[in-house]
Amino acid sequence: RKEVEQDPGPFNVPEGATVAFNCTYSNSASQSFFWYRQDCRKEPKLLMSVYSSGNEDGRFTAQLNRASQYISLLIRDSKLSDSATYLCVVTQGGKLIFGQGTELSVKP
């Protein structure tokens, strides 16, 4: 079983749509949680941290359920510029463990 699992997609959605990504992690000792974004042929960049209480940054909402070992990212009112791969990331033993990423393509 992979340490961090995501649906690789691709998710093809029209502009303005709401899209949700899910992620599960296998190690209950994981301490911190993040969503990173990676554009095609570019480096990953931190999108947002994920807290147990849930957190929002503009059109983006991240949630964490430690009991289910489940992390989600919701994007509202999708823009063309949101097209990218979204990487679920957890920390274990001082390391970042990346999921495979979920590819999002927002169409006009």
Token look-up 């649906």 returns 7
- Count of residues making up the chain: 108
**Is residue 26 a contact residue for another protein (CB under 8 A)?**
no
Residues 44-103 that bind another protein (CB under 8 A): 44-46, 49, 85, 87, 91, 94-96, 98, 100-101
Give me the least distance between CB of 96 and another protein, in Å please.
6
Interface with another protein (CB under 8 A), residue from 25, 34, 35, 86: 34
Phi-psi region of 80 (alpha: psi -120 to 50; beta: other; left: phi over 0): alpha
Identify which of residues 21 and 44 has a Cβ nearer to another protein in the complex: 44
Q: Are 54 and 40 in contact (CB under 8 A)?
A: no
**Is residue 31 a contact residue for another protein (CB under 8 A)?**
yes
Query: Rounded distance, CA 64 to CA 94, Å?
Result: 20
